[in-house]
Amino acid sequence: MHGRSDPGRLLAIGLALALFCALFVPGLLRERGIARAVAEGRVVVYGTAEDAKARPLVEAFERRYPGIDADYRRRDSADAYNRYLAEMDSGASSADIVWSSSMSAQVKLINDGYSQPADPANKAALPRWASWKDEGFGVTSEGLVFAVDRDAIADHEIPRSHAALARLLESQPARMRGRVGLVDPRRNEVAFMAYSQDVVVSSEATRLYRAIAASHPQVFDSNRTLIDALVAGRIDIAYNLLGSYPLDLDDPRIEVVLPEDYLLTTSRIAFVSRDAAHPHAARLFLDFLLGEEAQRIIAREHLGAIRGDVGDATYAHPQARPIRVAPSLLADFDQMRRERLLDQWQPVAMERTP
């Protein structure tokens, strides 16, 4: 009798152990990871988000994990890339997490072996296009928009698509001369990526960029200087502007346009550094960025929550085209392709503005 019941008993024991592992082991491992992160006591983050955007996230993280100091160091995308690379190659102390809006630079660093696997608990909530190699993770999904000065451009003239913008510039060259602004893709990796993706997505992109170049646009070093010029009335239209900048304004004069033909959305990618001095705290910070609390802050700051369950409608658009976190972005580092694209844009027609 006992012999006949042993297989059933063994099966029941096996099922109980499997259930225990499924229910309790992940929690135990997470608690152990938190304890190790607290023991490290610190995480150093190189980020490109402005301090006003990053501060609520840092403060929320430190409230949840009071034993860990989050040392956020803001840099522009080129400086974050170059400084981190120089520090890593020289063996100097560097970031535990690199979190940048320059998607192509982030993918290159990951591809070149500067990251390590993270496996955040919240990765299951991400769309499939938002992670690569279990090392690079899109934390935001922010639209590249137009922003228009309604005092200068009548409602019926406001371009609602890329094609409409090209027509406006071609039909009124004298009026629009020097009145369009954009971030300089020769100096800013995010701006070059936006240009590169325009060309990938639209067969009409070359026409648009030629029209922009012919209008003698003002080009800027950053989204901040671009939006400041629009608010000051020095330009009438800002092109391919990260949406958080105009959406932060309390200015009815400025209209934000989500273009109707397609809306590129870009992600601020984060990865844990290969040589992180505080790897457990870094993984915990990354997991926090992907969790509901941080994603709700990201939505509030107009950075675009990546998680669908947060319900962020800021950049919800039927024509949204997320830029994938993928090795295809490495094409932006092909020098022949870069030179060809910039030549097509006729950069000699531009007037650089500080």
Q: Which of 56, 84, 81 is nearest to 70 (CA)?
A: 56
Say yes or no: 183 and 243 in one domain.
yes
pLDDT at 1: 45
Say yes or no: 215 and 337 in one domain.
yes
Say yes or no: 312 and 216 in one domain.
no
For residue 18, pLDDT beyond 90: no
Say yes or no: 261 and 273 in one domain.
no
Residues 56-75 have a mean pLDDT of 96
DSSP string covering 136-178: EEE-B-EEEEEEEETTTS-GGGS--SHHHHHHHHHH-HHHHTT
11 occurs within a structural domain: no
Question: Tell me: the pLDDT tens digits for 207-260?
Answer: 999 999 999 999 999 999 999 999 999 999 999 999 999 999 989 999 999 999
Say yes or no: 152 and 64 in one domain.
no
DSSP string covering 173-208: HHHHTT-EEEE-TTT-HHHHHHHHHHHHH-TTHHHH
Please return the burial class of 192, using the count of CB atoms within 10 Å of its CB with bins 0-12, 13-18 and 19+.
buried
Say yes or no: 90 and 208 in one domain.
no
pLDDT at 77: 85
Residue 272, domain extent = 41-141+267-320
Say yes or no: 225 and 104 in one domain.
no
Say yes or no: 209 and 236 in one domain.
yes
Question: Tell me: the pLDDT tens digits for 37-61?
Answer: 999 999 999 999 999 999 999 999 9
10 occurs within a structural domain: no
Residues 284-297 have a mean pLDDT of 97
Residue 287 binned pLDDT confidence (cut-offs 50, 70, 90): very high
Say yes or no: 134 and 203 in one domain.
no
For residue 15, pLDDT beyond 60: no
Say yes or no: 237 and 161 in one domain.
yes
pLDDT at 29: 44
**Cβ neighbours for 133, distance < 8 A, ≥ 6 positions apart:** 110, 115, 117
17 occurs within a structural domain: no
Please return the burial class of 147, using the count of CB atoms within 10 Å of its CB with bins 0-12, 13-18 and 19+.
buried
242 occurs within a structural domain: yes
Report the sign of the C-alpha dihedral through residues 179, 185, 186, 189, in that order. positive
Say yes or no: 200 and 253 in one domain.
yes
287 occurs within a structural domain: yes
For residue 354, pLDDT beyond 60: no
Side-chain half-sphere CA neighbours of 216 within 13 A:
8
18 occurs within a structural domain: no
Please return the burial class of 123, using the count of CB atoms within 10 Å of its CB with bins 0-12, 13-18 and 19+.
middle
SS3 content of the chain, % helix, strand, coil (to 5): 50, 20, 30
Domain count, the chain: 2
Give the span between the Cα atoms of 219 and 73, in whole angstroms.
Answer: 26
8 A C-beta contact, residue 63 and residue 310: no
In our burial notation (b when 16+ CB lie closer than 10 A, e otherwise), range 62-87 reads eeebeebbbebebbbbbebbebbbeb
33 occurs within a structural domain: no
- Domain with residue 121: its CATH number is 3.40.190.10
- Tell me which H or E stretch contains 102: none
Give the span between the Cα atoms of 46 and 44, in whole angstroms.
Answer: 7
36 occurs within a structural domain: no
Look up residue 83 and give its two tokens: 């400084």
Least confident of 2-16, 26-40, 183-197, 238-252: 2-16
Give the span between the Cα atoms of 59 and 69, in whole angstroms.
Answer: 10
CA 255, chain centre distance (Å)? 22
Residues 63-81 have a mean pLDDT of 92
Least confident of 15-29, 77-91, 184-198: 15-29
Say yes or no: 154 and 249 in one domain.
yes
